[in-house]
Structure 1
Amino acid sequence: MARRCELTGKGVMVGNNVSHALNRTRRRFLPNLVNVTLISEALNRPVKLRIATSALRTVEHRGGLDAFLLKQDDADLSPLALGIKKEVRAALAG
């Protein structure tokens, strides 16, 4: 399973551990991913996603999963999230 947020695309970053003697060794900065179940109001069902905690705060700020998906760029979304976005758009249109 990839260490990538399904809603924002946030992934692993790399950098250096720097010791007191300025020795540099490579390290990884992992995103804080959590498994959550979000409720889609347009679909009237829960959706399980693996997202970053920062994305969870953004979802709450934008007014829920449906509003977040409609506003988010398609390039950042995972294939699962893109499918949900398509379903939400269809449910709101019809």
Structure 2
Amino acid sequence: MAKYCEICKKGVVSGNNVSHSHRKSKRKWAPNVQRVRVVENGTPMRKYVCTRCLRSGMVERSI
């Protein structure tokens, strides 16, 4: 599955897991991206869209 939103360009960010003893290891946070049918310029197409964009109405869903 795609790791970024095609609407807002939100993607994977990286950081550290920090244990109780404060040892650090690398980790990633990925956005919640769904493959949905959207209408763009009157044409239905499939895009990878994050759930924040879906919820806020930044895309028009197609049926």
TM-score of Structure 1 vs Structure 2, range by shorter chain = 0.7 to 0.9
TM-score, normalization: structure 2?
0.77
Please give the root-mean-square deviation of Cα atoms over the aligned residues, in Å.
Answer: 2.0
Give the number of the structure whose residues are more often strand, by fraction.
2
Matched, 1:57 2:55: yes
Alignment partners' CA distance in 2, 1:25 and 1:13: 14
Following TM superposition, the consecutive aligned residue runs of length 4 or more in structure 1 with deviations greater than 3 angstroms are: none
Note if contact 2:2-2:48 (Cα within 8 Å) is conserved in structure 1: no
Give 1:47's aligned residue: 45
In our comparison, the structure showing a higher alpha carbon Rg is 1
1:45-80 per-residue CA deviation (whole Å, 9 max, x = no partner) reads 422110111111122xx5x53xxxxxxxxxxxxxxx
TM-score, normalization: structure 1?
0.55
Counting aligned pairs with the same residue, the percent is: 35
Task: Point out where structure 1 has 5 or more consecutive residues left out of the alignment.
Answer: 66-94
Alignment partners' CA distance in 2, 1:15 and 1:23: 13
Give the number of the structure whose residues are more often helix, by fraction.
1
1:15-50 per-residue CA deviation (whole Å, 9 max, x = no partner) reads 11011111111111111110001235x61x422110
Task: Point out where structure 2 has 5 or more consecutive residues left out of the alignment.
Answer: none
